[in-house]
Amino acid sequence: MENQIRENIAARRWVIFAPGRKDRPNDWGKKPSKRADLPAHKADCPFCPGNEAKLPGIILEKPAPAGDDKPWQTRVVPNKFPALVSAGDNTRTEAGLYVTMSGYGQHEVVIESPRHDRDIAQMSPAAVSVLIETYHQRYVDLMRAHNNMMTIIFRNHGERAGTSLIHPHSQIVVTGIVPRYVRWREEEAERYFDQWGRCVYCDILAFELQQQKRIVIENGAFVAFVPFAAEAPFELWIMPKRHQADFGSITDADKDDLAHVLQETMGLLSSKLNDPDYNYVINSAARYKAGEPQLHWYLQIQPRLTTQAGFEIGSGMRINPSLPEEDAAFLRAE
C-alpha cells in the first residue's frame, strides 16, 4: 500500500502512514521479549506485602475478589516523589512577563496487585474489575474538591514508557488547571457538535462498528479498536458504546465489561508483541464539562514500538510505519 496522510477527525491532527519504513506486521511479534521472569514477591519492593513501612501511607485498600486468598487486591498510596502536592492553591501570580502558580494538585499511585509478577495481562477479569473500581472511586472522590480541575489516570509500562518500578501499578495526577492540549481536544469536539449536532466520538464508533476493519474486541458495553489515524503502531482506543463525557459516570455493570475488554486487550498486546512497553491513559472530561453532549471518554493505549524523530518534533505530525487495518487483523488473528 502506498503512503497516506490521514486525519484524526476528533482532534484534527494529521498522521503520516509510511508502511515501507518497517517490515511485515508479523515481525512486531518476533522481536525478543526484554523481560525476565519475575518473582511473586520481592523483599526490597515497597509495593509488595510486608513492606508497608516503605510506603508514605495508604489512602485506599480494596479486597481481592471472592475466592482469592491474596491479602488485598489494590492499594492507593501517595506518590513518594509527587509532581504536584495538595499544599497551596491555583492562584496565578505575575512573574514579570510570565505567569506562575504553586504546584497545586495531587499525585497518587495505584498498586494493582500484591503480586510483583502479576500484570494486567495475567490478572483475572475479576481482579481487573477491582482495579477499575479503584480507579473510579478515586476519580469521583478527587473531582469533588473545588480546586481540582482535571484528573488523569494513566499507566506507564516499561522503561521506554517512563516506568521506574516494575511492580504493577498505575498513577493518578490531579491538577488545578486544564492544559491547553485537553482544552483543544474539547474545543474540537465542540466544533464538530456545533456543525453536525452529534458527538464526533459516537460517529467514529458507529463508523468503526459498521466497517469492522479496525475492531479488535467488542462486548456489550465497550469496543477496542485501532483508530483510523493511529499515531503509533498498534495504538488502541477502548471506548464505551453508551455516550458518556465523564469516566465518573460509568455504571457498575459497565465496569465489569471494561475490565474484560482491558484484560483481553492487554493480553493480546503481551502475547502478540512480546510484552511491549506502553502507556495508557483515561481521557475524560475536565471539571464542569462532564454533562456536555459533545464529549466522550475513552481509554487510549500507545505501545512504545517506535521513537519520534526530528521531523515529528518539528512538525507535530507523527509518522506511523504500521497500517491500522493490518494491526487490527494481526491482533484478531488466532
Distance CA 267, CA 278 (A): 13
pLDDT per position as a tens digit, 92-126: 999 999 999 999 999 999 999 999 999 999 999 99
**DSSP per residue over 156-197, as a string?**
EESGGGT----S-EEEEEEESS--HHHHHHHHHHHHHHHHHS
The full set of domains in the chain, from first to last, is 4-332 (3.30.428.10)
Average of pLDDT values for 70-77?
95
Distance CA 41, CA 22 (A): 39
Does residue 57 register a pLDDT over 70? yes
Which amino acid type is present at position 121?
Answer: A
Distance CA 81, CA 77 (A): 12
169 catalytically annotated: yes
The three-class DSSP label of residue 312 is: helix
What pTM was estimated for this model as a whole? 0.93
Residue showing cell 496522510: 5
Query: Of 62-76, 196-210, 226-240, 248-262, where does mean pLDDT reach its minimum?
Result: 62-76
pLDDT at 308: 87
Distance CA 47, CA 50 (A): 9
Instruction: Quote the crossing angle between the two packed helices 180-196 and 200-211, to the nearest 10°.
Output: 70
Average of pLDDT values for 132-157?
94
How many beta carbons lie within 10 A of that of residue 39, not counting itself? Answer: 11
Percent of the chain with pLDDT over 90: 83
Query: Considering 169, 243, 260, 296, which one is annotated as catalytic?
Result: 169
Number of H helices, E strands in the chain: 6, 15
Relative to beta strand 278-283, strand 298-303 is antiparallel
pLDDT at 24: 58
